[in-house]
Amino acid sequence: MPNAELKEIVWVDNFYQLKRAAANFSGLPYLAVDTESNSLFAYQEQVCLIQFSNETDDYLIDPLAISDLSPLEPVFADPRTEKIFHAAEYDIICLKRDFGFHFENIFDTMVAARILGRPAVGLGSVLEAEFGISLDKRYQRANWGQRPLPPAQKSYARYDSHYLIPLRQRLHAELVETGRWELAQEDFQRLCQTSVPNPNHPADACWRLAGNTEITPRQAAVLQALCEYREIRARQSNQPQFKVLSNSALVELALASPQNMAELMEIRSISPRLLERHADGLLRAIHAGQLNAPPPRPRRNHNRDEELSNRLDALRNWRKETGQRWKVESDVILPRDVMQAIAEANPRDLPALEKIMESVPYRFKKFGTDIIAVIH
């Protein structure tokens, strides 16, 4: 059971305090980390708080008050210190995107819980199951960009990292006991290589946004113009795009392509409030889209797609059956990107497969022969 005694939060909001904190972190065997961003409140999200916990103290770093976070770079890159996250991928993407940090030696308690077959892997669920600790999640969707942060939000933030070190110790012991530690290490190493997604939208993005909805080329051109209108308004108002207009509303507008206010008022997903804000802009975007050339469709090679689809189906079925035997979700057995790469390359033998699976050597050793048999 973790120590219930809490010390005062260490609030860090200037460069000199940050240098002292980074010096305190240097060379530690374990350091718990979390971040809070303002993705629900800004057009371009940013990291608004970085939480660190060692064995004795909880630190809250305010990146909105500190322009230079370079003292943290060697902390994240230090292979001596295991950085413990819960659901690390998003945090790593945000920290790489905003500050260019490089990561070495990661432990992700959510990934560990998934590899161990836990039925619920949210931090609150795992802490409840392991320690009987119930977290207050009322500030999960709070605005972390506001300043000053209320004391209750600071208290919430500390708990997202406070228990991660003892949780890591318990999960690590079980990973070793069950023979799954090597698999976990493989996934932790892959997390260090997580890349920041390209924010630029491809030319065929509107076709993808439509999903399974059948749209004509003309409707696709309208949808693209509506997407461009939404992005401009989101940037102007510093809001996430979904808070300006939902994807489903844009698709409904593109399908109906109303030409005037009366027709626009018939669109169910456009409320009176949205009409007041956007009616003129939406009608202009629809008109412009109808004059534009349709965006290119995603190109597909149907013969190749059929063969690829068959291999993917075979791999999915094998992955699902293997996952059931291991009592884990299927992507624990074989990550989706690796499965896709195998299906596309269609390796004929183990040496060819090993090259494709170089980022997952444990899985190659464990499942390589089965995979070759599945796709051939």
Q: What is the pLDDT of residues 276-298, one digit of tens each?
A: 999 999 999 999 899 988 888 87
pLDDT at 4: 61
Q: Is the pLDDT of residue 254 over 80?
A: yes
Cα distance from N-terminal residue to C-terminal residue, the chain = 50
Q: Is the pLDDT of residue 2 over 70?
A: no
Q: What is the pLDDT of residues 50-63, one digit of tens each?
A: 999 999 999 999 99
Determine the residue type at 95. L
Cβ atoms of 191 and 89 closer than 8 Å? yes
pLDDT at 302: 54
- How many helices (H) and strands (E) the chain has is answered by 19, 6
Q: Do domains 205-291 and 302-375 have the same CATH topology?
A: yes
What dotted CATH number matches 205-291?
1.10.150.80
Q: What is the pLDDT of residues 63-115, one digit of tens each?
A: 999 999 999 999 999 999 999 999 999 999 999 999 999 999 999 999 999 99
pLDDT at 341: 95
The Cα–Cα gap between 263 and 279 comes to 11
Mean pLDDT taken over the chain: 94
- Cis status, amide bond into 150, omega within 30 of 0: no
Q: Is the pLDDT of residue 35 over 90?
A: yes
Cβ atoms of 188 and 111 closer than 8 Å? yes
Cβ atoms of 44 and 50 closer than 8 Å? no
pLDDT at 200: 65
User: Which of 144, 79, 69 lies closest to 100, judged by CA?
Assistant: 69
pLDDT at 151: 95
Q: What pTM was computed for the model?
A: 0.85
Q: Is the pLDDT of residue 309 over 90?
A: yes
Q: Which fold has domain 10-192?
A: Nucleotidyltransferase; domain 5 (3.30.420)
Tell me how crowded residue 2 is: count the other CB atoms within 10 A of its CB: 16
Joined together, the tokens standing for residue 8 give 């005062």
What is the mean pLDDT of the segment spanning 308-337?
A: 97
Joined together, the tokens standing for residue 245 give 């207009």
Per DSSP, 147 falls in state S
Q: Is the pLDDT of residue 205 over 70?
A: yes
User: Which of 280, 271, 236, 239 lies closest to 252, judged by CA?
Assistant: 271
CATH superfamily of 302-375: HRDC domain (1.10.150.80)
Q: Is the pLDDT of residue 273 over 70?
A: yes
Q: What is the pLDDT of residues 315-326, one digit of tens each?
A: 999 999 999 999
Q: What is the pLDDT of residues 61-75, one digit of tens each?
A: 999 999 999 999 999
Q: Is the pLDDT of residue 153 over 80?
A: yes
User: Which of 296, 287, 104, 288 lies closest to 190, judged by CA?
Assistant: 104
Q: Where are the domains of the chain?
A: 10-192, 205-291, 302-375
Categorize the per-residue pLDDT at 212 as very low, low, confident or very high, splitting at 50, 70 and 90.
Answer: confident
